[in-house]
Structure 1
Amino acid sequence: MKDITEKIEIHHPDKAVDTGAYSAGVQVGEWLFVSGQGPLDLATGEVIHGTIEEETLHTLSHIQKIVEAAGGSIDNIVKCTVHLENINDFDRYNVAYASFFKGIKPARTTVQSVLADGIKIEIDAIAIIPKKS
């Protein structure tokens, strides 16, 4: 059995280029902490600009793949923190966000933030992934 304090780095399975000095995810025991994700093309590291709805779903798909790489699913996500470049996009982002999650939606905080590279949204997440017996 692994020590619960052991940190395991979780990589995005599709990420081909380094986009910063951070881990996509860090797992400690059953807890998975997913770094802020944005609407990036993971082959090039370039931003994929689109509507707030498109950028929201693209960003959430990155989070989903990181959680799945750790052995979980989107149902394991318990908390998201969302940074919107423009809080006036809230209603449209909220519809797209709500469409992504089925069942119990994660707890969530949404704030307006200054974001890099012209992205409209950045999302980080916390998931609990029970160990398989």
Structure 2
Amino acid sequence: MTAVHAPGVDEPPRSTMFSNARVVGDQIFVSGLHAGDGAGGILGDGSTYDQARIALTKIQRLIEAAGGVMDDLVVLRLYMTDIDEKAEVGRARAEFFTGDFPCSTLVEVRALVDPRLTVEIEAQGVLGSSR
């Protein structure tokens, strides 16, 4: 098992006791990522679209650091605080995938770790599977 680190993706503080991403064999597991900047702020303009785009960019950086591409993702789990904004998340997703879309779960939640966050995305894939 190997931890994955990528430029532009802040490492969680050790006190939180989790990793952003781990590779086991050819599988990659990515923790729920969001638009937080790692210093208590929110990146981007705060819109649901922008927050989804930022979370997916972080996922892409981790996948690429592990030697894969976004189309290697098999599953996305999306957590939103307002399900009525799902089209905005879909618009962001369409910018990151060129092949078949990954399997997906979309769940509305009452809150995320910071009340300013509207989207958190978790991913799982098989490196090299899209080739």
State whether TM-score is above 0.5. Answer: yes
Contact 2:31–2:122 (Cα < 8 Å) also in 1: yes
The letter for the 2-side match of 1:119 is L
Alignment of 1:1-133 (within 5 A): 7-16=1-10, 18-19=12-13, 20-42=16-38, 44=39, 46-48=41-43, 50-113=46-109, 114-117=111-114, 118-130=116-128
Provide the rounded CA distance (Å) in 2 between the counterparts of 1:87 and 1:16: 27
Give me the identity figure in percent. Answer: 29
Structural RMSD (CA): 1.9
Structure with the greater alpha carbon radius of gyration: 1
TM-score w.r.t. length of structure 1: 0.83
Provide the rounded CA distance (Å) in 2 between the counterparts of 1:81 and 1:16: 20
The letter for the 2-side match of 1:79 is V
- Structure 1 residues 57 and 16: CA distance shift in structure 2, 3 A: closer
Q: How many residues align?
A: 124
- Structure 1 residues 95 and 129: CA distance shift in structure 2, 3 A: same
Q: CA deviation at 1:92?
A: 2.1
Q: CA deviation at 1:79?
A: 0.7
